[in-house]
Structure 1
């Protein structure tokens, strides 16, 4: 478990109504961009606040303006987001190359909003105008009075002008007269730090997963097995499925189903972002180990008898059994970010239903909570010797994973 940080700065319209927030990666409570590669920063922002967190919450339900380098765009990272929830900010581009032109047109055709940043008023950028939604101008580097000719060239395009680094009311009034639509700067809102917490994937599992994605076609059984050994990878996968599901509700019952639902392209994006973000660790805490043992034991107990009818849900339910403690969030909030089947949701939230009974029994047995255990064992006609054998087997399985 480690702390995560992100800076959020509001972008407002002429009526001072917030239309979105620019999200910027931070690696500490110090409100400044760290000395790291921009590709890594973008990947860390995505993994911390999209896969692990909820970017809709971070941006208060408004548009999230996210910086993407050309490498991130080529890897199609923006496709992991709902096109209605983000604005793609182009960063690190000095000239509009043929490759950049094709990239911008690709995302425009997909329905995404694209913002050109670091705009220097040069006519060379006009080639991108048909595919842009916003042009951001740094008012410290560009004299706004020089924009009149640009505004004339923009008349045939539906592009909004956004002024960056607005710091005084006088400056605001002058920019409004020039024709700016949006404003961002200390006058409105200093960047604020939003702190959260997340886990890191286990390095061994990450290496296995990267290796597995080199195969074609993908073996979803193997991928699901690797992901099932790491609670954090499981959470990331489920959140990604939830984020890309745009139509009817998807009810995930297994990790193989979740991986297959994403398909090869998005699953590979998921893995490359995890790898590039470098958010890996060699350690797993005891809570995650307990979740793995719970998942394995629940699966064994559901092989026969009354629990057989919910056997398909057993492993993923056990794997997520400690997620409230791990993420330090209320479980009813966590499940909103995952497309889980209703029986799994109910079992995790209040241990209700047959699946909830199995979860309750398993967790109490593992933690040594003797109260009501014998009653549950009798109610479901379970063999206590069998439970003990499977518990030992689950512990050994967890040990053999090397974590």
Structure 2
């Protein structure tokens, strides 16, 4: 068996949140890139798998809440070779992939992990009798509801085959209707992109805090915004000023003297970076629920990634700031529970951004690149990068750098929490 490792030093990994029924974050599944997607494949599988799993986990765990569980996919060979013992058992969940066969070797390996105190999850279950030996050892069973078309009867039939006491995780939950249906069927954990799709509340009125933040975001969208006006906005809110000073005076900025003036901070950061910082913080301040906090983190990450893609791709007409705003505002409808059209009316956005937020135009195609990374849809990523004239290495480095930038902007950004 050959195992994949990157042909560069940084291990690339995407992550997807797993929510509890109350929409708080329980943990994350890590999705490692596969051999088919411009990876180097080598025969030294012991070294390679250890490198990918351990280094990749460390990379993706940055910025996660310390109590978040981490689900890591295990193929057959890695399972048999006891690769799971390289991971901390108090935090990591060994997820047995659907194509792993319950042979004597794999079952014995699973029992070794189980007896050592590791939590075991079985992936992509939809009632297959062949997986019963693994089910009997599992702590968590991930039921693939999309495979069953979210049919409540089919899902119920699959659930009946799972012994009592095992935690049920519904995976590939794509809309809020399915999420609410599954809550009443014994599921306590949920994974999928239901959380990023808008659940519109008819007639919903924005709170005074939400309206204030949107008005500030609208000012930050103006192309003729002056540094003096930006300083006024910061001085109008003591919390924003404090957080700006805390950010710019942090050890990572390397300043020899402390900055205590908003104008001085803006001068040192530059208008573009200062605007980006304030936009990111305002998005985090719209975080009224743990789910919205995850959305804010995702939106800021998208924004910085798209801005970087714009600067390095062959798209001669794209504007970095427009790409930043596209990513930043792409999840506002889900965060605020109002339609994107209502949000667009409140913000003075360029036409290319408006079209992208409505799912149209060239900028929307770049937004789709970001969402493909979030979902781990590697095949779609390859074709999009080719059209943009980008190498896989370039794009993945930008994605990792955007994640680090997001954490710095939000101040040890923990999904589910506001900015520091």
The two structures share one fold, judged by TM-score above 0.5: no
Give the greater-gyration-radius structure (CA): 1
TM bucket, shorter chain: 0.3 to 0.5
TM-score (norm 1): 0.41
Normalised TM-score (structure 2): 0.40
